[in-house]
């Protein structure tokens, strides 16, 4: 049993999410930075968090903490691991490292503070958090009040239970990252596939998008991350789109908004869709963030800067396949040791 | 524009989209839904979900199993077989609605705008009774379910019954659940309380999003009642009927009016030509 002493700013139970209900208006939710949750799960012997929008089992549920983390009391001895943003965590007052298993004795208190770098910290707990599966996943969809603990962020007084750990604490404590990087390279370079509506922007508009330095607006969450930067020039639209879609220069007749899609209403302030994305909408999307970089996007702090880099769709697939294979290889190596 | 040949576009590394055109014409949605239906039957490997929208079919696929090019090669021959849509499976769902309800009126006061149904009447130069008669006098075709859980976009099949109205200039920060609203080409309803900018005309006496429902035959595991390709027929209920239906629905005893039908797409498209 784990007692929540402080909920933090927005701490939610997340796993790999629930893709497959987009046509019902239900976004996948899950960890915004799947890689960080996945390596935290790896360290405590849990099932890995798969890449977003994959068919794989969603893996063990852990905590996603935004900007300011939780404080927890472990009523029983528990093995935990932290990954993602540095939240200056302490265990009974002593600073603890990220990216390695930590044995928390019965009665010990973990305190996470405010992020020093990045935006989202992840905490995995050996065994994984035990909350009911909601259409296949334990992920919290905050805006839809679905999954997790009563569909909401954690708060003081909540109690969490976990499934049985995969191995005794002493064995789990010997695990490490097996050579995996703790975070991706070039954290501020977000790779995108152009489209689906890049053709609505002028060559200059696309060029501006790919060369500008963008800043993350504080008005950002798991649904969408808003960027501040130069306006993006659009071509004039045919008249019938004014009738059918609206008068704005980026208005289109509604289509599918992918997770990672970058909408540019009115040609200003692009919005990068997160894992709680609206599944349909009516603004031109200049590009789509590749699934491997949704986590990088989730780690940009408020007012932090980033640039975009164009890749081909097949490169996006190759990158995520490589990351997922390395995670599974590391898991197999650790389990065999 | 309705494209001569559908355009295939990647939406990042996880989705492939098949786009039939870029305008708000129902014939595009019929093609989208016909392709969705054909792909479901064909069981194409690697597809996780088929996602209809107004004018484009989104395909979420597993990138460990397939990729855009492989999927396109599998989808294209199937897409070519659905060039002329004859019929589509389409449920007719009759929804009880209290037109000109007190919640919509209260929200208009709270957000300092004219009562929306009065405004819709004014926009169309008719009375409120005529707004209700028009709105109940045609079936609405659901082109897409999306945006938020269970939210839908629908168009009147009888275009002469279209009620024109603009969206709010500044969207409301709050809308009660189950309020029915229209703007532009679409009528929709708010499945749960949320912000919104459509003109409010009434309130449904039943949910359209009900997770853990006492009526699991109507609300599947995901809690969403409506699908793209369903037809909606609203019927007007008074305050007393509204309460009775709401209570029965929550108790699991309300008999939902849902009929499986086949919609004659070809006949419909021929009849709407001037």
pLDDT higher than threshold 70 for residue B18: yes
pLDDT, tens digit, 9 for 90 and up, residues A96-155: 999 999 999 999 999 999 999 999 999 999 999 999 999 999 999 988 889 999 999 999
Minimal Cβ distance to A253: which of B23, B67, B224: B23
Give yes or no for a contact between A104 and A78, defined as CB atoms under 8 angstroms apart.
yes
**CATH architecture under which domain B90-272 falls:** Beta Barrel (2.40)
- Rounded Cα–Cα distance for residues B186 and A68 (Å): 41
Cβ within 8 Å, pair B17-A55: no
**Strand duo A10-14 + A62-66: pairing:** antiparallel
Give yes or no for a contact between B54 and B144, defined as CB atoms under 8 angstroms apart.
yes
Smallest CA-to-CA distance from A56 within B16, B15, B62, B70 is with: B62
pLDDT, tens digit, 9 for 90 and up, residues B29-82: 999 999 999 999 999 999 999 999 999 999 999 999 999 999 999 999 999 998
Give yes or no for a contact between A149 and A140, defined as CB atoms under 8 angstroms apart.
yes
- Rounded Cα–Cα distance for residues A220 and B246 (Å): 37
Calculate mean pLDDT across residues B102-113.
97
pLDDT value, residue B274: 60
Q: At what angle do helices A313-336 and A34-43 cross, to 10 degrees?
A: 10
Q: Domains of chain A, with CATH numbers? A: 2-177 (no CATH), 189-316 (2.40.100.10)
Q: Which residues pair with A306 in a beta bridge?
A: A214
Q: Which residues on B lie below 8 Å from A193 (Cβ)?
A: 10-13
Q: What is the ipTM of this complex?
A: 0.96
Cβ within 8 Å, pair A291-B222: no
pLDDT value, residue A242: 87
Give phi and psi for B229, each to the nearest 5. Answer: 95, -10
Cβ within 8 Å, pair A196-B146: no
Cβ within 8 Å, pair B146-A320: no
A181 preceded by a cis bond (ω within 30 of 0): no
Question: If pLDDT is split at 50, 70 and 90, which confidence band does B273 have?
Answer: low
Which chain A residue is nearest to residue B222, measuring alpha carbons? A135
Minimal Cβ distance to B62: which of A22, A54, A261: A54
Which chain A residue is nearest to residue B219, measuring alpha carbons? A24
User: Closest approach of chain B CAs to the CA of A319, in angstroms?
Assistant: 10
Calculate mean pLDDT across residues A242-255.
89
Domains of chain B, residue spans: 2-85, 90-272
Minimal Cβ distance to B48: which of A55, A134, A290: A55
Cβ within 8 Å, pair B64-A55: yes
Give yes or no for a contact between B79 and B18, defined as CB atoms under 8 angstroms apart.
yes
Neighbours of B170 (CB within 10 A): 10
Q: What's the CATH code, domain B2-85?
A: 3.30.1360.40
- Rounded Cα–Cα distance for residues A3 and B176 (Å): 35
């Amino acid at each position: 049993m784990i007692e929540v002493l402080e909920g933090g700013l927005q701490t939610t139970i997340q796993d790999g999410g629930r893709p497959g209900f987009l046509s019902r208006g239900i976004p996948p939710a899950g960890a915004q930075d799947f890689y960080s949750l996945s390596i935290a799960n790896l360290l405590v012997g849990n099932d890995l968090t798969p890449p977003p929008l994959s068919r794989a089992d969603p893996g063990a549920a852990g905590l996603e903490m935004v900007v300011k983390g939780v404080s927890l009391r472990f009523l029983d001895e528990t093995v935990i691991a932290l990954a993602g943003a540095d939240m200056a965590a302490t265990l009974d007052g002593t600073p603890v490292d990220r990216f390695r298993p930590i044995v928390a004795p019965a009665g010990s208190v973990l305190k996470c503070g405010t992020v020093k770098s990045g935006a989202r910290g992840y905490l995995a707990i050996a065994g994984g958090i035990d909350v009911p599966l909601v259409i296949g996943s334990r992920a919290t969809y905050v805006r839809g009040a679905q999954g997790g603990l009563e569909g909401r962020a954690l708060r003081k007084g909540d109690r969490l239970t976990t499934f049985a750990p995969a191995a005794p604490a002493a064995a789990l404590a010997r695990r490490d990252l097996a050579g995996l990087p703790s975070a991706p390279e070039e954290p501020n370079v977000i790779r995108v596939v152009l489209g689906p509506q890049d053709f609505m922007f002028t060559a200059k508009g696309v060029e501006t998008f790919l060369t500008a330095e963008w800043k993350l607006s504080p008005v950002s969450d798991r649904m969408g991350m808003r960027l501040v930067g130069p306006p993006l020039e659009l071509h004039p639209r045919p008249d019938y789109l004014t009738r059918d879609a609206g008068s704005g220069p980026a208005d289109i007749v509604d289509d599918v908004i992918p997770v990672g899609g970058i909408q540019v209403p009115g040609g200003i302030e692009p919005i990068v869709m997160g894992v709680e994305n609206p599944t349909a909408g009516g603004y031109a999307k200049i590009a789509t963030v590749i699934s491997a970089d949704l986590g990088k996007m989730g780690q940009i702090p408020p007012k932090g800067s980033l640039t975009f880099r164009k890749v081909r769709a097949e490169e996006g697939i190759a990158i995520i396949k490589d990351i997922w294979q390395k995670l599974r290889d590391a898991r197999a190596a650790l389990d065999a040791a | 524009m309705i494209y001569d040949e559908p355009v295939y576009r990647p939406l990042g590394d996880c989705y492939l989209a098949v786009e039939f055109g870029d305008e708000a014409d129902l014939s595009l949605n019929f093609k989208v839904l016909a392709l969705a239906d054909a792909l479901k039957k064909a069981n194409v490997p690697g597809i996780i979900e088929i996602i209809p929208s107004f004018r484009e079919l989104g395909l979420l696929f597993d990138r460990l199993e397939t990729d855009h090019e492989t999927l396109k090669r599998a989808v294209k021959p199937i897409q070519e077989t659905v060039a002329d849509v004859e019929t589509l499976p389409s449920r007719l769902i009759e929804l009880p609605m209290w037109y000109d309800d007190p919640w919509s009126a209260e929200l208009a006061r709270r957000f300092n705008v004219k009562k929306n149904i009065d405004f819709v009447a004014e926009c169309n130069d008719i009375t409120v009774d005529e707004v209700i008669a028009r709105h109940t006098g045609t079936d609405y075709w659901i082109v897409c379910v999306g945006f938020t859980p269970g939210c839908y976009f629908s168009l009147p099949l009888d275009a002469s019954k279209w009620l024109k109205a603009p969206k709010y200039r500044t969207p409301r920060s709050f809308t009660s659940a189950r309020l029915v609203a229209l703007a532009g080409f679409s009528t929709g309803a708010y499945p749960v309380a949320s912000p919104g900018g459509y003109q409010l005309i009434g309130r449904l006496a039943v949910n359209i999003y009900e997770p853990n429902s006492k009526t699991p035959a109507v609300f599947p595991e995901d809690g969403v009642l409506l699908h793209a390709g369903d037809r909606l027929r609203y019927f007007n209920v008074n305050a007393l009927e509204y309460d009775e239906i709401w209570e029965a629905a929550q108790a699991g005893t309300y008999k939902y009016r849902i009929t499986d039908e086949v919609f004659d797409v070809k006949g419909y498209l021929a009849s709407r030509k001037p």
